C-alpha cells in the first residue's frame, strides 16, 4: 500500500490539506503529486466546500521536488510529477472554493509554485523562499512562469527566477507573494481564523469574485464588464442577497 503523503480533514465547509512527507521536507515526488491530484479532484467536486487550506507537516511547507527520485529516471519522473501537479494547479485555480496556502519553513521550487496557485497565501515569520529551479539546472513548472510576472511584474519575476536568491517572509510580503506574516506559533490559529472568516461570507459572491479576478488579465474591458454584470445579477437573484442586506441594515442600526 502506498504511503499516505497527504492528510485531509474537513469541518463546516473548510478543508485542511496537509502535505505529509516531513522526513523529506514534503519534497514533491510522483506519489505525492498523484495523491494531490486525487484530493483536488475530490475537493473540486464538493459543493459544500467553501475554503481549502493547504499547509505542510514538519519543518517545511515544501522544499521543491524530490531530487533523489528524479535522478533515478529524470524524464519519466519529471513527467510523472508535472502532469498531476499541473492538473492540480488548474483545479485549485478553477474551483469555486477559496484556496489559502499557509506556509512555513522552506518554500522552494514546486513549493513556491503551489503556494502561488492559491488565492491567498500567509506565512510564518522565519519562512524562507527560493525559486530554486535554476540551482538544479532546470526551468520552472507548476505555473510559476504564468503567475509570478502577474504578481511582481516581469522585471522582478526575471530577477527572482534567474538569480534564485533566497528571500524571507517580510520580503515576500513586500513583493505581494503573500498577504500576511504571523509569528510561527500563531500561524495555524491565524490561518484557521482567516478560513472561518471567508467561510462565513456568501460563497457565491466569493466564487464569482475569484473567477472574475483570475480571468481579468485575459479579457478585454468589454468582456470583463459583461462578466461583472452577469456575476452581479447572479448574486442579487439569490435569497442570500436579501438576507445579507437585511443583516447589513440590522448591524448598522445597532451601531447607532
Query: Is the pLDDT higher at 185 or at 250?
Result: 185
Share of the chain above pLDDT 70, in %: 99
Q: What is the pLDDT of residues 83-137, one digit of tens each?
A: 999 999 999 999 999 999 999 999 999 999 999 999 999 999 999 999 999 999 9
Tell me what pLDDT residue 2 has: 53
Reduce the DSSP state of residue 44 to 3 states and report it: helix
Tell me what pLDDT residue 33 has: 97
Beta bridge partners of 65: 28
Tell me what pLDDT residue 250 has: 85
The pairing of strands 180-182 and 120-124 is parallel
| Count of Cβ atoms closer than 10 Å to residue 149 Cβ | 16
pLDDT bracket for residue 247 (50, 70, 90): confident
Tell me what pLDDT residue 191 has: 98
Q: What is the pLDDT of residues 189-229, one digit of tens each?
A: 999 999 999 999 999 999 999 999 999 999 999 999 999 99
Contact 110, 142 (CB under 8 A): yes
Taken in order 72, 76, 78, 84, the sign of the CA dihedral is: negative
Beta bridge partners of 10: 15
Amino acid at each position: 500500500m502506498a504511503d499516505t503523503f497527504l492528510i485531509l480533514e474537513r469541518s463546516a465547509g473548510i478543508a485542511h490539506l496537509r502535505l505529509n512527507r516531513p522526513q523529506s521536507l514534503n519534497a514533491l515526488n510522483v506519489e505525492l503529486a498523484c495523491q494531490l491530484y486525487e484530493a483536488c479532484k475530490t475537493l473540486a467536486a464538493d459543493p459544500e466546500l467553501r475554503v481549502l487550506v493547504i499547509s505542510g507537516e514538519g519543518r517545511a511547507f515544501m522544499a521543491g521536488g524530490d531530487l533523489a527520485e528524479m535522478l533515478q529516471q529524470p524524464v519519466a519522473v519529471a513527467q510523472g510529477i508535472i502532469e498531476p501537479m499541473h492538473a492540480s494547479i488548474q483545479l485549485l485555480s478553477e474551483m469555486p472554493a477559496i484556496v489559502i496556502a499557509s506556509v512555513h519553513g522552506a518554500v522552494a521550487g514546486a513549493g513556491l509554485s503551489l503556494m502561488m496557485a492559491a488565492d491567498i497565501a500567509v506565512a510564518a515569520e522565519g519562512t524562507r523562499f527560493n525559486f530554486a529551479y535554476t540551482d538544479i539546472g532546470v526551468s520552472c513548472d507548476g505555473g510559476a512562469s504564468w503567475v509570478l510576472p502577474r504578481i511582481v511584474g516581469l522585471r522582478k519575476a526575471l530577477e527572482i527566477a534567474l538569480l534564485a536568491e533566497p528571500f524571507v517572509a517580510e520580503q515576500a510580503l513586500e513583493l505581494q507573494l503573500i498577504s500576511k506574516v504571523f509569528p510561527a506559533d500563531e500561524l495555524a490559529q491565524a490561518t484557521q481564523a482567516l478560513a472561518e472568516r471567508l467561510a462565513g461570507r456568501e460563497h457565491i459572491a466569493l466564487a464569482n469574485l475569484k473567477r472574475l479576478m483570475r480571468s481579468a488579465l485575459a479579457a478585454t474591458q468589454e468582456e470583463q464588464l459583461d462578466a461583472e454584470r452577469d456575476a452581479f445579477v447572479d448574486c442579487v437573484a439569490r435569497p442570500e442577497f436579501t438576507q445579507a442586506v437585511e443583516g447589513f441594515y440590522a448591524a448598522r442600526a445597532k451601531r447607532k
